[in-house]
Structure 1
Amino acid sequence: MSYATTMLRAHPRPLPHIDRAALAECIEACIEGAQTATACAEACLSEPDLPDLADCIRATLDCADVAGTTAKVLSRHPTYDANLRRALLAACRAASALSAEECERHAERHSHCRVCADACRRCEAACQRLLDV
């Protein structure tokens, strides 16, 4: 069991009508997406074709910031503000998709971009699943 799931279960107030498993999965995917995107941007800065990676670096840093913030807000009790939560999920889904697209363009040459694209696609899908609930 993940820490996100454990914390959701440990909260003294019941969760409103929200899929606890989808919420925990999304929190975890956002955290992993943020970490992976940050690491990918750093790795891109060390590549010899750095000028070709400028858009990728920007997209991964944007994804890292949005995904990290989304994970933090989702970790708060979900009665906080459903409209804010949905807006963050939509923004995170969009940032993750953009980062994945940029990384996929470089995935054949840079393994860190391949890993990042996978993590960003997972984050994008998890955000979409939670939006669909």
Structure 2
Amino acid sequence: METMQHNQTHADTCFACVEACERCLTACLEMGASDSKGHNMTACMKLCRDCADFCMMCGRLDARGSAFSSQFMALCADVCDACAEECEKHAAHHAHCKACADACRACAEECRKMAGTD
């Protein structure tokens, strides 16, 4: 039963990251390609989109007990790190980027634990 709880924690963390990425992407889209400080938000938007997709699939593979879960979790952690790094560039100016970076870091950590690569 402990493993099932750990898997549920992982899935919850993945889905929380999906939500944070989607919120960040939407906020960036509403700002346009550049924010009021002149920062280009294109890379942030692209990474949020990729990260949301990876995290959604990672959570789904975990939920179904896929034989490919651990490999995908390791890759998902790398995508989450890349997204967090980009969002952290804008975190001082945008709360949605800070929230996204935090969710991505938590997801990357959880994915690495589950994949056994931490």
TM-score range, shorter chain: 0.7 to 0.9
Deviation at 1:87, TM superposition (A): 1.6
Cα displacement (A) at 1:44: 0.6
Task: Quote the Cα distance in structure 1 between the aligned partners of 2:95 and 2:109.
Answer: 21
The partner residue of 2:53 within 49, 58, 65 is 65
Equivalences for residues 27-106 of structure 1 within 5 A = 27-47=11-31, 49-50=34-35, 52-76=40-64, 78=65, 80-81=66-67, 84-106=68-90
Aligned length: 113
| Superposition misfits of 4+ residues, deviation over 3 angstroms | none
> Separation in 1 of the partners of 2:10 and 2:72?
12
In 2, distance between residues paired with 1:38 and 1:59?
11
TM-score with structure 2 length normalisation? 0.87
The structural deviation recorded for 1:25 is 1.2
Q: Which runs of 5+ in 1 are unaligned?
A: 1-8, 10-17
Q: Unaligned stretches of 5+ in structure 2? A: none
Q: Is the counterpart of residue 127 in structure 1 residue 111 in structure 2? A: yes
Identity of aligned residues (%): 27
* TM-score, with length taken from structure 1: 0.78
Q: Distance in 1 between matches of 2:4 and 2:115?
A: 13
- Aligned-pair Cα RMSD in Å: 1.8
